[in-house]
A and B are shown apart, each in its own frame.
Chain A
Amino acid sequence: MLINAFNDALTLIVSADPDLIEILLLSVQVSFSALAIAGILAMPLGTILAISHFRGRKLLITFLNAMMGLPPVVVGLFVYLMLSRSGPLGILELLYTPTAMIIAQVILIIPIIASLTYQVIEELNREYKDLFLSLKISPQQAVFAYLWDARYSLFTTLLAGFGRAISEVGAVMIVGGNINHLTRIMTTAIALETSKGELSLALSLGIVLLTIALLVNAIVISIKTFAGEKGYV
């Protein structure tokens, strides 16, 4: 029975089953959008935290670190409350739309990207600070140099954010509702299909998701190796 499900799963993948493709594309679309938005917000935030001094900076860093371990269902609940009819943003009618899922994923991965960016830039800042002061580099030039010289590490932080977003289930389930053809993505579909006993679609999605995760990790490792060989360490 398990063998059959596995065979069916592979058939679904090889034959590019339309349902599977639809779910895969929506997943990727949602998580890429979340990644883009979170990256635009979190990378400057992490950079500012790393190179400037202001009141509450330490607190914010601690807060972001704590937020990295945030239970996704709690984020889902929070976004649900915000977007529900009676919530402050209820008027936008976003609940149970891909946008709601994007919002939840953005909130989930901002702390990851911001914290990792902070760590990367902070380390570089400690290394470069004296030289930049000595050369009288302007703050803008310095920020540009940090981002450029940290580009490989920063790219891997984005991949980490993407990996977290695409594999998350609790938050998107609550705010997306797992509606067929509308908000059904890989993780929520796996949860549903498994509970229905429809193992072949669940398995095929699982294989695809696993492949994506492995791919992301493989890219991270090759970037790290490449960067190490080039002296970006």
Chain B
Amino acid sequence: MSNTPLIEVTNLSLKLSNADVLSSITIASTDPGVTMVMGPNGAGKSLFLRCLHGLTIPTGGSIKIFGNSILGTSTDQAMVFQKPVLLRRSVIDNLKFAGSTNTQRNAIDDALSLARLQDKQHFPAKLLSGGEQQRLALSRALLREPKLLVLDEPTASLDPASVQIIEQVIQDFTERGGKVIFVSHDIGQAKRLGSEIIFLHMGRVLEHSVASAFFNNPVTDEARAYLNGHIII
């Protein structure tokens, strides 16, 4: 069991308008916790996550998650996008839309309180603040009871209290056996949550290691520079 990789990416490449945005990515991860994907702006993190979620079909290579080939999206996974996608409906209708027919009313209530939007449940979702939108998008993703959560900077515009709540939720989720792939630029957060780190740079994986190893002894100059807040070229 433990030697079947949960995430297995083989020679993944993605070309968009003739640019190599992802190149020869190969990863085999058996880590059951939070896989943090880090790297500078434009490194290809979001596109990598889209490939893992089956939204973007890679130009070459293959992806297996929990041993299943990713050829399209699956209800086993839920993704929260870097820019939250919300329906032009009320908060509660956004949750109801994502719930399946047998989603219970109290599951919706739980999602509402998780998003801390009980008082705004009838408010138009598109008029929520950036942070409120992110909280709603994450609660909606959890409502699907996925086995894998794919999170693209889900706490980027949250206040400290919201970040804390969300991090707790993610920890609870992994403790219940869920797998999380998480993009973050917040090194503190990556240290708190991450059990392994994938460091991307210009569409390539430069490092893939246990979190403590990555933060204490980054191997590449690029990762060192990134962690020290230097601009890397």
Contact = CB atoms under 8 A, between A and B. Distances in A.
Interface of A: 124, 127-128, 130-131, 133-136, 145, 149, 230-233
B81 A130 contact: yes
A133 B55 contact: yes
Interface residues of B, number: 22
B85 A127 contact: yes
B125 A134 contact: no
Interface in B63-99: 72-75, 77-79, 81, 85, 87-89, 97-98
B165 interface: no
A90 B89 CA distance: 50
A231 B124 contact: yes
Contacts of A124: 88
A132 B79 CA distance: 11
A55 B144 CA distance: 36
Interface of B: 53-55, 72-75, 77-79, 81, 85, 87-89, 97-98, 124-127, 144
Given A133-B73, A134-B53, A134-B55, A145 B87 contact: yes
Given A136-B74, A232-B124, A233-B126, A149 B88 contact: yes
Nearest to A137: B97
Given A130-B85, A131-B87, 7 more contacts: A127-B85, A133-B55, A134-B73, A134-B77, A135-B97, A231-B125, A232-B126
Nearest to A127: B85
Tell me the dominant secondary structure on chain B's binding face. Answer: loop
B175 to A, nearest CB: 24
B127 A231 contact: yes
A227 to B, nearest CB: 8
A232 B87 CA distance: 9
Contacts of A130: 55, 81, 85
A102 B144 CA distance: 49
Contacts of B55: 130, 133-134
B73 to A, nearest CB: 5
Nearest to B128: A231
Contacts of A131: 81, 85, 87
B89 A149 contact: yes
Nearest to B80: A134
Nearest to A151: B88
A157 B73 CA distance: 34
Contacts of B88: 124, 149, 231-233
Contacts of B78: 134
A119 to B, nearest CB: 16
A145 B98 CA distance: 12
A135 B125 CA distance: 18
A134 B76 CA distance: 10
A232 B55 CA distance: 26
